[in-house]
Structure 1
Amino acid sequence: MRSLRLLFAAHKLCAGLRQMPAVATHGAKVRCQLLRAAHSSSTPGPPVTDPPSKTVAPFEDAFSKEQRDKASFVEVLDLFCGRDVRRRGHVEMIEAALRWMPKFGVEKDVEVYNKLLDVFPKEVFVPQNFVQILFLHYPRQQECAIRVLDQMEYYGVTPNKHTFFLLAQAFGKFSHPVKKYQRMLYWFPRFKHANPYPVPVHLEDDPVGLSKVCLQRIAADRDARVTVYQLPSSEVCEDGTIREHEHLVGIQSPDQMSLLTGHDHRFPVVVEGPFPLWLKQTCVQYYVLRAEPGAIKKEEVDPERCLYYPLQLDLDLERDLGDELTFDVDEVDEGPVYAMCMAGCGDERMLGKWIQCLQETNPVLAQLPVLFRLTSSGPQEVSVPLQEGATSHEEEVARPSTAEEEETRPQQRMEQY
């Protein structure tokens, strides 16, 4: 009988909304919001920050303490669960905990998510009949549980059997959070190994080890060899100042070495960068040694070497009406890449040391001019427009060599512009 009364009340509410004038702008907005809330789902991602309620305000202060780890986070949840048996304000508490999880470093821990789902009162929101299942019994609590699962999906956390037990105990086996759990458990194992080049779960803090991982991902060549030219260290100078030496790691494959051997001496080799590379939430920068298009020597074939089967035909055929004149990206010649490196300091001095180290395995670099085409350091999403009379960082700037650099490198190795 109670369910029938709720149905009649919902019917009267819908009838009242239909009788509202269509000219009323405010009423139309309210009706659109009701329909949008009834037929739309939340986008997966971190929850939006909302002002805390009076019941959760003391726990916001507990979350904002200096010690932020898993033990202190679970301690706050246990403090809330032991305060009241009925768990009043549990929805606000869970939403506040979701906001603080990245700051405590537990956003990828499935045990903490299960602890959050354990905050819901047990066997209170379970529907008793089919009508309650159909009309989203206790919608606010179910949407809160779905937001917990959405954040697990956003950070790539796979739920386990304990997650299903907590959801079924709080909302029943036919609830919407359980359906969300079943979809996640179906698709997560299928997409887990879909990437042929997975990112390591734990990135190394050592800049040299991180550079090796990044360069191996960029090269995608099993024959490529990673070489550590310089380790990070500090040196005490004669005047008492401390000089820091940054790391320098490079990679080159045998195919790139053979291409560099056939480089035309009339064209310079270009050092470009830095280019950003994102690994999860870590951004690193790398530099490339490449050539301009047309800098590779082409083997000249004598067309009269074989009279019956010429090896090269130089035919000038006119275009037909049926020829396609579209632009194909795959056919664009950008020039070969000879080597790549990662350095702690991307100035010309450090990159010049990289070129000097490459001469040990590539003697042809001593006879080639090297052109540095460096942009401003650091990834920039928005570029500031230049003022009148200012020059761009991407232009090639001429810089004279100092006496100290002339002593440490051969004069015939490179020309700096």
Structure 2
Amino acid sequence: MEDNGVCPDAETDAMVLNIFGRHGFPTKKLRRMTYWMPKFKNLSPWALPEKIPTSNLEVAKLAVQRMGSVDPATEMEIFQTSELRDAIDDTWIVSGQSATQRELLAKLQEKKTVFVEGAFPIWLRRTSINYFILRSDPEPLSEEDQKQRAQFDYDDVSQLRSWILGQENLTRKDIIIEPSVHEQEDGTILAVAVTGTCSKDSLLSWIRFLEKKNPNLANLSILFATNSPLGEVIPAIESSVPVNTVKKITDTSDL
């Protein structure tokens, strides 16, 4: 029952109690399962339906929704490449981007390089699907910020001061803007997407759709570095079982 996620009910408890007694090991095991399994059932913040859909589009929606949950303001959009005039692939694109990510993208300097990276697999129980990210290099910190962050110990509470007693003397150097959840040490995540074919043309279409709400993308240099950790294989096709496939893309002449 535990291996298959079946929670015991009152009838099972009565059967085990009559067979093994109140102090028997099976009874104690069953009561522990009755107590803990309902708690663990809803413990995950990324709850999934009881049955994972077989459609790649529905799986992509679940994947983007899960990845975007780190920022409650993340908006999920579904695009059809057939809406673009020059698109070759007729497929769908599930894109996720928040208002904070749009602000970070708008602040990038002209001609700065951003990267389309992937495909990276994400697992939803026993089903996996590939996703891509739009990433920029991390912004370097100033020397003053580096010194302050190196000297400040968040675990040291010996020097805490109470503002109630008037002992807090803040200066401009004491204020450090905390980076958003999208700004990581290895780069800033600007958007995430899952495409129906994982092909070069579908990624180009994704960038064109993003330009509608992110006009600064037209001023940036976009580099496709889609090296799959699973190797260079054929593009994915729409099927009942998601396939981990991708082509290596390095050409940026179409942008």
Pick the TM interval, shorter chain.
Answer: 0.5 to 0.7
Once the two structures are superposed, residues 164-196 of structure 1 have per-residue CA deviations (whole angstroms, 9 ceiling, x without a partner) of 233344444443222211111122233233323
TM-score, normalised via structure 2 length: 0.67
Q: Which structure carries more strand by proportion?
A: 2
- Choose the corresponding residue for 1:352, options 201, 204, 209: 204
**1:338 CA displacement:** 0.9
How far apart, in 1, do the equivalents of 2:40 and 2:10 lie? 19
TM-score, normalised via structure 1 length: 0.43
Summarize the Cα distance change of 1:200–1:277 in structure 2 as closer, same or farther, 3 Å threshold: same
How far apart, in 1, do the equivalents of 2:131 and 2:122 lie? 8
- Choose the corresponding residue for 2:73, options 223, 231, 234: 223
The alignment status of 1:158 with 2:7, answered yes or no, reads: yes
Summarize the Cα distance change of 1:365–1:400 in structure 2 as closer, same or farther, 3 Å threshold: closer
* Cα pair 2:2 2:33 within 8 Å, conserved: yes
Match of 1:276 in 2: 121
Match of 1:189 in 2: 38
- Choose the corresponding residue for 1:343, options 195, 205, 210: 195
How far apart, in 2, do the equivalents of 1:165 and 1:203 lie? 34
The alignment status of 1:364 with 2:216, answered yes or no, reads: yes
Summarize the Cα distance change of 1:333–1:168 in structure 2 as closer, same or farther, 3 Å threshold: closer
Percentage of pairs with the same residue: 30
**RCO higher in 1 or 2 (8 Å CA, sep ≥ 6)?**
2
Summarize the Cα distance change of 1:315–1:173 in structure 2 as closer, same or farther, 3 Å threshold: closer
Summarize the Cα distance change of 1:231–1:157 in structure 2 as closer, same or farther, 3 Å threshold: farther
* Cα pair 1:276 1:379 within 8 Å, conserved: no
Task: Name structure 2 gaps, 5 residues minimum.
Answer: 83-87, 154-180, 233-247
Summarize the Cα distance change of 1:285–1:184 in structure 2 as closer, same or farther, 3 Å threshold: same
Summarize the Cα distance change of 1:167–1:244 in structure 2 as closer, same or farther, 3 Å threshold: farther
Rg (Cα) greater in structure: 1
How far apart, in 1, do the equivalents of 2:72 and 2:252 lie? 40
Task: Name structure 1 gaps, 5 residues minimum.
Answer: 1-151, 233-242, 299-311, 325-329, 381-395, 407-413
Q: How many residues align?
A: 203
Secondary structure of 1:153 counterpart = coil
Equivalences for residues 18-417 of structure 1 within 5 A: 152-220=1-69, 221-230=71-80, 245-294=90-139, 333-376=185-228, 378=230, 398-399=250-251, 401=253, 414=255
Summarize the Cα distance change of 1:332–1:261 in structure 2 as closer, same or farther, 3 Å threshold: closer
Amino acid at match of 1:280: R
Task: Report the RMSD for the aligned CA atoms in angstroms.
Answer: 3.6
Summarize the Cα distance change of 1:397–1:374 in structure 2 as closer, same or farther, 3 Å threshold: closer
How far apart, in 2, do the equivalents of 1:289 and 1:315 lie? 27
Match of 2:170 in 1: none
Amino acid at match of 1:336: T
**1:344 CA displacement:** 2.1
Amino acid at match of 2:208: Q
**1:397 CA displacement:** 6.8
Q: Which structure carries more helix by proportion?
A: 1
